[in-house]
Amino acid sequence: MKKLSREDLWSLEEYSERRIQFRNEVMAHKKNRQVALGDHARLYFEDPTTIRYQIQEMLRIEKIFEAAAIEEELDAYNPLIGDGSNWKATFMLEYTDPDERAVALARLLGIEDKVWVQVGDSVKVYAIADEDMDRQNDVKTSAVHFMRFELSPIMITELKSGASLQMGIEHANYPLSAVSVTKAVSLSLATDLDDVAIN
């Protein structure tokens, strides 16, 4: 997928005028880019649209307008966009009660390495988590993780041809068998992947 450049971004003034409409468009777009994994875990799949929104919001909040500072934001966020052979996602453990969340994060140590996706009857692909930094310690995991799922050319071809897509978690304290991904989400995620030739 194409990475973002300064030419893809609006100035602070222009973004201020477009923000409400753009936000509504992004929220609608995101509906087909997330998968609930049980009651307390969710994958949010990133793409140029979702990342552009995050960058525009950061520039707005921090009032960033200098070229070098904008490039720093692009350098920070562009790695969250898939490379055409993978999906990149934000994995969130969602507990509204702080006490419940603290207990859960201690019980779910290592969960970020147990999240998987599966195309059709292919082997499960497990997340490569937190490449930018370690987000857990010896006693608890983080509520937010960044993940990459690498797909083989055959998986990509099968998904684009309509194969089913499932996701799940294999953790002793959060057992979750396969979740069937809706067709709308599958179609959206398939557009992240480059067409490949199978020899």
Position 59 confidence tier, pLDDT thresholds 50, 70, 90: very high
Summarised one tens digit per residue, pLDDT across range 88-133 is: 999 999 999 999 999 999 999 999 999 999 999 999 999 999 886 5
Query: How far, CA to CA in Å, does 43 sit from each of 46, 68, 120, 143, 156?
Result: 9, 32, 19, 12, 19
What value does the mean pLDDT take over residues 52-61?
97
Domain encompassing residue 75 = 6-190
pLDDT one-digit tens code per residue, 17-36: 999 999 999 999 999 999 99
* Domains held by the chain: number: 1
Q: How far apart are the C-alpha atoms of 181 and 64, rounded to whole Å?
A: 38
| Residue-wise DSSP of 153-179 | HHHHHHHHTT--EEEEE--TTS-EEEE
> Is there a domain that residue 181 lies in?
yes
Q: Which amino acid is at 81?
A: I
Question: Residue 197 falls within a domain, yes or no?
Answer: no
Query: Is 95 part of any domain?
Result: yes
State residue 156's pLDDT score: 97
Q: What is the structure's pLDDT at 97? A: 95
User: pTM, whole model, 2 decimals?
Assistant: 0.90
Residue 1, domain member (yes or no): no
Name the 3-class secondary structure at 190: helix
Reading the block at residue 55, the tokens are: 């960058």
Q: What is the pLDDT of residues 134-181, one digit of tens each?
A: 555 667 899 999 999 999 999 999 999 999 999 999 999 998 888 999
Give the per-residue pLDDT at 170: 95
Q: Is residue 196 part of a domain?
A: no
Between 137 and 9, the more confident residue is: 9
Q: How far is residue 197's CA from residue 199's CA, in Å, rounded to a whole number?
A: 6
Work out the number of other CB atoms within 10 angstroms of the CB of residue 197.
Answer: 6
